[in-house]
Amino acid sequence: MNKARLEAFSDGVFAIIITIMVLEIKVPHGDDWNALKPLIPVMMSYVLSFIFVGIYWVNHHHLLHTIHRVNTPILWSNINLLFWLSLVPVATDWMGDTHFASHPVAAYAILLLLCGFAFTILQLHIEKKIDKNEKLQHAFDMLKRKGIISILAYSTAIAFAFVNTTVSGCLFLFVSFMWFIPDKNIERALNEE
């Protein structure tokens, strides 16, 4: 089974998730700059989630680049990942609406943790299918290391949500920056093939 439709369907879901979040940015009622002020936390929350979903899309892109055919476990672990990602807009809105209150920030961190687990499951199923050379093995090991660091960071963010949500926010940004350049290894490994 080729991967074209898996990519097309995933791209569709990614595109919709990233775009429906904007539906929650309600049109301000006034007609001057003050009308935009209540949108600030909503916008911050939107930007954060846009970056996260963008990162997932880029990494999904690179991960699927390593295989040519997909099997049923890959199809289902992909649907599992999309399920958790589809809840990102709800968590984003809750966090924005409550101006980054403790529980919503913790809920957001838990959701990102679950997305991270789902991505790792997909990664493990894909890893089984590829003919790994040393370079690609190295790239996958790096991905796993990043996965572990992310899980630790999100877990810490959950705890800090009840102490200081700014620390949680910084941990979210830290994970974003770490994943921002995830692909160099896979990219290089594939180019050398």
Where along the sequence are the contacts to its own copies (CB under 8 A)? 1, 4-5, 7-9, 11-20, 22-25, 27-28, 31-33, 35-36, 47, 50, 54, 57-58, 61-62, 65, 71-72, 75-76, 79, 82-83, 86-87, 89-90, 93-94, 97-98, 101-104, 107, 180-181, 183-184, 187
Q: Give min distance, CB of 63 to its own copies, in A.
A: 12
Question: In the bound complex, what is the minimum distance in angstroms from residue 44's beta carbon to its own copies?
Answer: 13
DSSP symbols for 25-69: SPPPSSSSGGGGTTHHHHHHHHHHHHHHHHHHHHHHHHHHHT-SB
Q: Which is nearer to its own copies, 19 or 152 (CB)?
A: 19
Shortest distance, position 141 Cβ to its own copies, whole Å: 20
Residue closer to its own copies by CB (options 9, 174) is 9
Burial of 69 (0-12, 13-18, 19+ CB in 10 A): exposed
Question: Between the CA of residue 67 and those of 14, 56, 133, 193, what are the distances in Å?
Answer: 20, 17, 13, 13
Nearer to its own copies, 8 or 152 (CB): 8
CB nearer to its own copies: give 17 or 112.
Answer: 17
Number of H helices and E strands in the chain, helices first, is: 8, 0
Residue placing its CB nearer to its own copies in the complex, 152 or 187: 187
Q: How many Å apart are CA 64 and CA 43, to the nearest integer?
A: 31
Work out how close the CB of 126 gets to its own copies at its nearest, in angstroms, rounded to a whole number: 15
Q: What is the DSSP string of 65-94?
A: HT-SB--HHHHHHHHHHHHHHHTHHHHHHH
Identify whether the C-beta of residue 130 lies closer than 8 Å to the C-beta of residue 186.
no
Minimum distance from residue 193 beta carbon to its own copies (Å)? 13
